[in-house]
Amino acid sequence: MNLFAPLAQRSLTLRNRLVIAPMCQYSAVDGMPDDWHMVHLGSRAVGGAAVVIAEATAVSAEGRISPGDVGLWNEQQLAAWQPITRFITAHGAVAGVQLAHAGRKASAMRPWDGGHPLPAGAGAWPTVAPSALPFDQHWPVPQALDEQAINGVVADFRAAAQRALDAGFQLVEIHAAHGYLLHQFLSPLSNRRTDRYGGSFENRTRLLREVIAAVRDVWPQALPLWLRISATDWVDGGWDIEQSVRLAHELKDLGVDLVDASSGGVVPHAKIPLAPGYQVPFAARIRREAHMATGAVGLITESTHAARIIEEGAADVVLIARESLRDPYFPRRAAQELGVAITAPLQYQRAW
């Protein structure tokens, strides 16, 4: 395999192995994507990526991380996404969207405003979680979801997936990482339930399995479904790589096509050994032991590093995040550095 080899995902063929990771822009009003999102996502399609995944997109208003999050919980948002997906697709990339619910980490300020919980007078809303445990000191105590509310969350993911399809997206990624709601159910650190959604591995993974089934029920069999997980909480007694591998073994039967392996986020003070490619071993182990396609992400900033990950079989795709904020055209730069010829838009061909 090499970084610029195509990759089949159900009926789609990705033009290379470079994917733009979902990155929150915190720039929406009432969940509506706007010109910023068109330029942000569209430029990365022009930049040569195989897939451009829109940021964590809330399946309900209460599921937003912040008031600036985009959503897919109503028809107006669906319509606002359509010109963006058309542009991405027209420039050779697959338009993807990450569907998310923030759970107890919802109702927060935007990062540049501090990232703290919203004050009561600034539009704060009640948060929910598997258990009534706050994310950190000075965070509100969330309401523990009862089974009726859990069923509502599943229905919200299902409805958002249908809207994603109608909006023109070709790939859905379910967000079960970074300490948001589905991850909160997976981790024993945040899930202290004693009913059928807590305790055992089977119970803690139940909501995620129900969400996957609901999304797959409306998402066409011809289109890929990805899942982002935090492969470890980086804390003893939390979710870990062994459980991630076990989960991945079950995912093919559920209709998942690729595991996007990130880490951390469910507790605020985990000691994470940040370094270039620090999460790649998780993608490699899941790929090797569960025979599941994987994506590697995390401080991958050099074309040679990305190429090596694919060549060594550690992952099937490499997701580029903050490096693509520094350089929207990273895939084109990588191709030049690696001596690979890729097609440029007609408007840009005189530069190649």
Residues with catalytic roles:
180
Q: Counting Cβ atoms within 10 Å, is residue 144 exposed (0-12), middle (13-18) or buried (19+)?
A: middle
The DSSP letter of residue 151 is: H
Using CA atoms, how far apart are residues 163 and 61, in angstroms rounded to an integer? 15
- Structure-token pair, residue 322: 């903050």
Confirm if 185 and 175 have CB atoms less than 8 A apart.
Answer: no
- Structure-token pair, residue 290: 């569960």
Write the CA distances from 65 to 62, 71, 188, integer angstroms.
8, 11, 22
- Structure-token pair, residue 339: 């001596």
167-190 as b/e: b if 16+ CB within 10 A: bbbbbbbbbbbbbbbbbbbbbbbb
Beta pairing partners, 225 = 172
Closest CA to 171 of 33, 10, 6, 4: 10
Which DSSP helix (H) or strand (E) runs through 301? none
- The set of residues, in sequence order, having a beta carbon less than 8 Å from that of 281 and lying 6+ positions away, is 314
- The set of residues, in sequence order, having a beta carbon less than 8 Å from that of 35 and lying 6+ positions away, is none
